[in-house]
Chain A
Amino acid sequence: MVFSDLVFLCLFMPVTVGVCYLLPKRWRNGWLLFASLVFYGWGEPRYLLLMAATIAADYAAGRWLASAGTPAHRRLVMTGAVALNIGLLIYFKYADLLIGTFNALLKTGLPLVQVVLPVGISFYTFQALSYVIDVYRGTVEPQRDLVRFAMYVTLFPQLIAGPIVRYKDIQDQLDQRPIDWEAAYEGVQRFIVGLGKKVIVANQLGLVYRQLAALDPSQVTMAAAWWGAVCFALQIYFDFSGYSDMAIGLGRMLGFTFPENFRYPYTAVSVTDFWRRWHMTLSSWFKEYVYIPLGGSRRGRRRQVLNLLIVWALTGLWHGASWNFLLWGLYFFLLLTMEKLWFGRVLDTMPPAVGRLYTAVAVTVGWVIFNGTDMAWLTGWLAALVGRHGLADATALYHMYTSLPLVLAAGVGATPLPHRIYERLMEVRPMPSVVCAAGALLLAACLALVVGGSYDPFLYFRF
């Protein structure tokens, strides 16, 4: 199920949240577990078995790690659990990429496994790993209650598109979770704003991008190539941060506080800064569970660069089982290393606008690589970006003027400005009725586009 689906919006969500309010406290976790399993199994029920296996294995690993044992023994259990989680992820996500590449390189004919990627596997696997590793490290107590643990792994708000919530972030909320109406109200607000970002902005930008991306890349002019890339950059920001807003909002309605995932990434003054603001829970996961264990920056400059290379290769591949994602990760590795070594200091001496422009261009080009699962398309589009197929044509201009208001609005919406104006208004004169009316109107507009606008892509099917 996805959040922008009417079955979710008008049946699953009100029933799940409403019943949660009505139930006595001790039944709420069980109810949320049940609801999350329905949510997860809705599209592909057979993957409930996979989910059950993940839960059982990680729960058992946690209990095992708790019952002392020698350090070597504990290490073995932890390694086993991590290997199992990563192994499932590799099988379901990367097996065909590896087999296909092997076949292409060695001219063999090994059959592909051709499994459908279980939705959200990259997100919940990382959550489960955070639990096992932290229990091993002794930073969290193992969870004894199977229902609570299973609920943590499957919790529907962040199950399929993040944020990646580490176990230690919400372990206390798993049993102590009073319903706070003010938080729930904020949650509703946050949810509606997130839905609006997804269906009113992101989906509509997606329509423009889809039309431009469908053009023959050998005939795409520079204007069309940049406009398409900018549309996608804004689309994925509004889509992804909208999803995170909806997840955080749903969490608030249910009494959880999830970590923030985006902080106006397109206002970043460097690529380093961008990655502190974009999908923050993923960046911090890789930092905490890969970069620092590898030694981070404590083992000399050379080792640090190698560690960055490993982290960014993995970050790239996490986004999809296709080599262009590796390329995308390496692209950021290069930019980040360059900034660490000397370019960052150069940027610091310049006005922030220069850094913002450089970051925006670098990230936008990055999105082209991100979308280039087809190498011929990617090289054609990159050539178009530097004007190899002409500067502009009627097709480019048509798509530009027919999406200009949307792109401008989205550009402003990606800065803190609208939120600041809202905060200021509330300070000067809080008008709760006006806010509620505006929220209702926004919700109606969202429903109109969900019902009437047929284009609703799910961008994370590769993640």
Chain B
Amino acid sequence: MKRQRCRRVVIIFLTVMALAGGTAVAMPSRGFSANENRYLAVWPTLDAASLWSGLFQKGMAAYVSDHFVLRDGLTAAAGAIQRAQGRRDINGAYLGADGWLLAAITSQDIDTELYGRSLALLDRLAADSGVPMVVMPVPDAGIVMKDELPPLAPMYDAAALYATARQVLTHAAIVDPTDALRQASGQRYYRTDHHWTSLGAYVGYRCLAPALGLTARPADGFGFHMVTDAFRGSLYSKVLNPDAPYDDISIAAQPAGLQVTADGKPMDGLYDMTALQGKDKYSVFLGGNHGRLDIDTGHGGPTLLVIKDSFANCLVPLLTGDYAHIIMIDLRYYEGRIGSLVTEQHVDAIAVVYQLSNLASDTSLMKLALG
């Protein structure tokens, strides 16, 4: 190639690269990325200490990456390249058929020893308090909807985890909703989020109710209705594929006369409708996770304690008709003692509702050891 032309190409190359980097630095911070559902890096403070420790340099790298021109487009292109190379999982999400994204959770993500210790602590709580306890771990979408997974995609062994639970829990009942969820028709999980839908939660409720001594109510009575059809959830945020579908979110009708308090602050009700304007629309259920959430239903009945993660958020609204008072405890954020809470609040029954793989990997149940 001619010398002049070579020179031009070299200069264009350097200029384009410099412009891309310069724009990223010069661009004002974008704050929150709705698309990725996370806060983007902020420009690091520049001083001698942060330079010397390398913190400034790390912060700058994160900032440039987060504010790179066409970031969303480039991320989508990266996913397309990976798919062209044959990949069927990206950032921990399986790319299933028909736009399905399913959380890729394998046996490496499961800590069987921790799981056993958590179950033993739950069992001890049931034994010490003498309150009837039902434990319902909810299987992940990939366990229930095997057909939507890419062929041969590995998932953790859910059956073995339920068997362990049956073995360890001698003072509590264990409910395995897997078969019921498999047999039910309709959309039981979101296609772009790792949670189950209100329909899935209703199937779970039908399994849980008899174990709690309740008669399951028919679905018509709950008044399920759609509140958004534009939900792209946590799995979409991992893959960021532009061709991802949008999910519907349905909620049960809210009974009258409820009072909901989250960590001592009164809420509008079971649903936080403002969440539907944001990215994390699953937070419409109870406004997301709180250390302690109290629902006073305004009618008579027993008191239920729910020890839970976010999978319970769309299930608990279905239980409000059968209890006078429901206390939800999320051990990740709650710092009190559960044993004394059970006594003080005269709890009549305890339900433990967790995503199975979270129950088998979350360390916060160790707080139960405090009593």
CB contacts under 8 Å to B, within A147-189, are 181-182, 184-185, 187-188
Residues A402 and B86 in contact in the complex (CB < 8 Å), given A6-B21, A6-B24:
yes
Select one of A42, A182, A405, A448 contacting B78, CB under 8 A.
A448
Partner of A9, one of B4, B21, B60, B75: B21
Contact (Cβ within 8 A) B54 A45? yes
Minimum C-beta distance from A157 to chain B (A): 15
Given contacts A398-B154, A432-B1, A448-B78, contact A6 B87 (CB under 8 A): no
A198 shortest CB reach to chain B, Å: 14
Number of A-B contacts (CB under 8 A): 145
A contact residues around B10 at 8 Å (CB):
181, 184-185, 187-188, 253
At the interface, yes or no: A108 with Cβ under 8 Å from chain B?
A: no
In the complex, chain B residues whose CB is within 8 Å of the CB of A182: 1, 3, 6
Return the chain A residue nearest B107 by Cβ. Answer: A216
Known: A45-B51, A45-B52, A215-B108. A11 touches B18 (CB 8 A): yes
Chain A 183-202 per-residue mask, 1 if CB under 8 angstroms from chain B, else 0:
01101100000000000100
Verify if B213 is at the interface (C-beta below 8 Å from A). no
A374 on interface, CB distance cutoff 8 Å: no
- Tell whether A14 pairs with B52 under 8 Å between CB atoms, given A185-B9, A451-B65, A452-B240: no
Per-residue CB contact flags for chain B residues 270-301 toward chain A (1 = under 8 Å, else 0) read: 00000000000000000000000000000000
Question: What is the 8 Å Cβ interface bit string for chain A, positions 379-403, against chain B (1 contact, 0 not)?
Answer: 0000000000000001101100111
A14-B85 CB under 8 A given contacts A181-B6, A452-B76: no
Structural contact, B20 and A10, CB atoms closer than 8 A: yes
Q: How far is the CA of A436 from the CA of B2 in the complex (A)?
A: 13
Known: A18-B14, A44-B54, A448-B81. Is A7-B60 also a contact (CB below 8 A)? yes
Q: Chain B: which residue is nearest A404 at the CB level?
A: B86
- Which residues of the other chain, A, contact B370 by a CB distance below 8 angstroms? none
A1 to B75, CA, bound (A): 22
Q: Which of A6, A15, A182 has the most CB of B within 10 A?
A: A6
Give 1 or 0 for each of B74-106: 1 = CB within 8 Å of chain A CB: 111111011011111101000000000000001
In the complex, the answer to whether B15 meets A6 with C-beta atoms within 8 Å is no
The count of residues in chain B whose C-beta lies closer than 8 Å to any C-beta of chain A is 52
Q: Is the beta-carbon distance between A402 and B88 smaller than 8 angstroms?
A: yes
Instruction: Count how many chain A residues have C-beta atoms less than 8 Å from C-beta atoms of the other chain.
Output: 55
Task: Check A402–B3 contact: CB distance below 8 A.
Answer: no
With both chains docked as a complex, state the minimum distance between the C-beta of A260 and any C-beta of chain B, in angstroms. Answer: 21
Which of A10, A207, A397, A406 contacts B17 (CB under 8 A)? A10
A348 at the binding interface (Cβ < 8 Å): no
CB of A156 to closest CB in B, whole Å:
15
For B153, the chain A residues whose CB sits under 8 A away are 398
Q: Are B18 and A405 in contact (CB under 8 A)?
A: no
Q: Does B5 contact A (CB under 8 A)?
A: yes
User: Residues on A close to B: CB < 8 A?
Assistant: 1, 5-7, 9-11, 13-15, 17-18, 42-46, 181-182, 184-185, 187-188, 200, 204, 207, 214-216, 253, 394-395, 397-398, 401-406, 409, 430, 432, 436, 443-445, 447-454
- B residues bordering A, Cβ < 8 Å? 1, 3-7, 9-10, 13-15, 17-18, 20-22, 24-25, 51-52, 54, 57, 60-61, 64-65, 68, 71, 74-79, 81-82, 84-89, 91, 106-108, 150-154, 240
The 10 closest A-B pairs by CB, nearest first: A10-B21, A452-B78, A452-B75, A185-B6, A14-B18, A448-B77, A398-B152, A11-B21, A406-B85, A181-B7
